[in-house]
Structure 1
Amino acid sequence: MRPIKVRQNGDSCLLRWSYEGDTYSLTWGKWTDAVDKAKMEYIARLVYQDSLSGNFDTTLHKYKSWLEGLVYTGNGNGSNGNSTPKPKQPPLLKLLEQRLIEHYATADYSLLGNLKKFKKEIKTPTQAKEFMKWLDEKGLKVSSQKRYLTTLKVLRRDLFESIQLRVGEKPRPKPFSINEVDRILTSLYNDPHYYHYYDFVLFLLNTGMRISEAIGMRWQDIDLDKREIHVYEVLNRDKGNSSKRKRQTTKTTKFRVVPINNKLYQCLSNRSRGNPEDLVFTTTSGLVLDDHNISQRCWKKTLEKLGIPHRPLYNCRSTFISHCISSGIPPHDVAAIVGNSPDVIFKHYLGSIKKPVLPEL
């Protein structure tokens, strides 16, 4: 017997399988509801396991009762053994584990670890508040708490719906000045240990690409004749393992073209081109770049040596965006180049370089 998969049937979730020559189907919930879909995924595994072990309920009452939040008694009815059915929701950990199987996210994986460390099963809204308080007392950033809470509300709205968190507005990313950029690049170019990463940092500063986009850049994506870079893929970490990455579409899933300026053209022209499928930037031993290692060693030490206040390597992107706007490029054109929406450009970057001159009254 093959594992059972949840399929879409109109607006509903559908399971269809065969057992001992007979065909069965079960339709329930909304296809667009992540919780309903997760519950059906659980039932798919339960039916599969019951079929293999010979415990399959051919009446389907067991599975329907579970979906309706009732405890199955084995007599064809869902109840708690008394006259009044007792609601029962699937365990939070099970729902989160299923969500990770379907759509892996680093934040959800971290949330799973914290739920396990909490060592208490969350069954009531009061216990849900205790868990969120525990996260806060651990010193977890409010922004991370809010990200966790969004996932928890999707999984168990009945437990977490009443909880609200306020996150203060983040300050705009502080770009590097032209002088700081020149000093950083000069230092890398002359550094006997970190010279290898000079081209990579120059590439980030002159394209505004996301780091995973630059790491995944291949020679086939670069057209020096037309002076343009085609961006449509990234190399993301596979389940938080920095030594293993998988190729995916960009964050926005949209293709875009990044122009190549004179400085970047000279840099790329001087590099040895490999096969079209080869990565443009690698480690000294030819492996995929690990941006954490670059950030903690090359980048951090370079800024410390120069006495430049530390900002993450990702700030190369905000630096590019801010200086593009400062140079007079229309925000909607900048948005198209870096793969943001114009709203994001206006909200987070406009005015970060040039400040308005107020009148003297």
Structure 2
Amino acid sequence: MAKRRKTRHKKGAVVVWARNNMLRLRWRYDGKQRHLSLGLPDTPINRQIAERVSSEVARDIAYGEYDHTLDRYRLQHSSADQAIKHPSTYELFDEFIDYKREQGLSEQTIASRYRSVRSHIKRFGQDIKTPDDATTLVEKLRGQQSPTTANKNLGILKQFGRWLAIANHLDADPFVDIERIKVIKTKPRSHDVFTVQEVQALLLAFKTDERCSQFHDLCVVLFSLGLRPSEALGLRWQHIDLKRRCITICESLSRAGDGRTAGYARVRKETKTGSVRVLPLNERLIAMFRQRHGSESGADDLIFTTIKGQPINDHRTYAKQIRKRKLVIA
């Protein structure tokens, strides 16, 4: 069995090491080995403190200011407070999200709005302690976002600032004096709808592309019946009446409460408006459903699934392909 090689330290170095999980310093001075117990458990934060003391000892030796009593290098009881890690702004925002969750904020709102602000704070890369820090962050966001989005995010940051002050993490709210941007109202844009030619080209592309062929029939239903994606994804064979040539829209397979769109995370609910609609089926849809319905298809089985038979993720699969094809076709 190969022997474990010991780490060799530079001659004259002040070494940080641990004994019984307690941090100590070791160095040589005047030809003798010296030791100093710091009285701190071996943790990453306490290692940083030990390295600072180590540097102080090495500097004093180099400049002839070495304290032979070692009193200068001993950590007082009050100094142990340095071992307490003060949470970063990024970590405090996580606590703020937990607070909002306890106040009843939905997981979907947290996922769609608060998580993005959290990401911006993390990328900002510094703690927000003063109004100047807060202003710098907000100005950075305004340079990357539309006025409307920037104002929404500022609203969340203002809530965060008030919470920081109330929870005594800061003496005052750093965002309190930052004003919202004045948004110039413009005429609403018309919906960028597909033309008949684009619909035909899109369906042809899905039908001929092996990677997307399973979404062809789903898109036919969406375009033909005007269903919401969650309604089409939640369709089961019990909703189809081929004899009466109609389809009943009474439920949906909606995104999870935290906004996840993955098939395994979807939740079966009533329709968005709570209504039940019975829609007629044309010849094309009748033929399509008859072709898809197999001898083993059960009443509770989903009509549209992935190749592996799982619920479809509308965000990462067919919707992504639609946006891609739209850009190509337009």
- Output the amino acid matched with 2:202: I
- Output the amino acid matched with 1:104: E
Which residue does 1:41 correspond to in 2?
none
User: Runs of 5+ in structure 1 lacking a partner?
Assistant: 1-90, 310-361
Provide the C-alpha distance between the structure 2 equivalents of 1:253 and 1:123, rounded to a whole number of angstroms: 45
Which residue among 114, 131, 138 is the counterpart of 1:132?
Answer: 138
Which residue among 164, 171, 180 is the counterpart of 1:164?
Answer: 180
Which residue among 226, 230, 236 is the counterpart of 1:208?
Answer: 226
1:233 aligns with 2:243: no
Alignment of 1:23-172 (within 5 A): 92-100=93-101, 102-105=105-108, 106-107=111-112, 108-122=114-128, 127-137=133-143, 139-153=144-158, 159=175, 163-165=179-181, 166=183, 169=186, 171-172=189-190
Which residue among 245, 269, 275 is the counterpart of 1:255?
Answer: 275
Provide the C-alpha distance between the structure 2 equivalents of 1:150 and 1:265, rounded to a whole number of angstroms: 50
- Tell whether the 8 Å contact from 1:92 to 1:156 is kept in structure 2 after alignment: no
1:294 aligns with 2:318: yes
Name which one, 1 or 2, has greater alpha-carbon Rg.
2
Which residue among 149, 154, 173 is the counterpart of 2:191?
Answer: 173
TM-score when normalising by structure 2: 0.53
Distance 1:259 1:285, change over 3 A: same
Give the deviation of 1:289 after TM superposition. 1.4
Give the deviation of 1:286 after TM superposition. 0.9
TM-score when normalising by structure 1: 0.49
Provide the C-alpha distance between the structure 1 equivalents of 2:185 and 2:126, rounded to a whole number of angstroms: 30
Provide the C-alpha distance between the structure 1 equivalents of 2:225 and 2:210, rounded to a whole number of angstroms: 25
- Output the amino acid matched with 1:290: N
TM-superposition CA deviations, 1:185-240 (whole Å, max 9, x none) = 23433444433221011111123233233223333344443613324333315554
Give the deviation of 1:287 after TM superposition. 1.7
Q: Report the number of matched residues.
A: 216
Aligned-CA RMSD value: 3.6
- Output the amino acid matched with 2:248: I
Provide the C-alpha distance between the structure 2 equivalents of 1:221 and 1:154, rounded to a whole number of angstroms: 46
Provide the C-alpha distance between the structure 1 equivalents of 2:176 and 2:270, rounded to a whole number of angstroms: 32
TM-superposition CA deviations, 1:122-174 (whole Å, max 9, x none) = 5666554433212123x234444344334445555674585323276552221
1:182 aligns with 2:194: no
What is the percentage of aligned positions where both structures have the same residue? 22
Which residue does 1:280 correspond to in 2?
303
User: Runs of 5+ in structure 2 lacking a partner?
Assistant: 1-91, 163-172
- Tell whether the 8 Å contact from 2:250 to 2:271 is kept in structure 1 after alignment: no
Provide the C-alpha distance between the structure 1 equivalents of 2:124 and 2:197, rounded to a whole number of angstroms: 48
Query: Which secondary structure state, in structure 2, belongs to the residue aligned with residue 233 of structure 1?
Result: strand
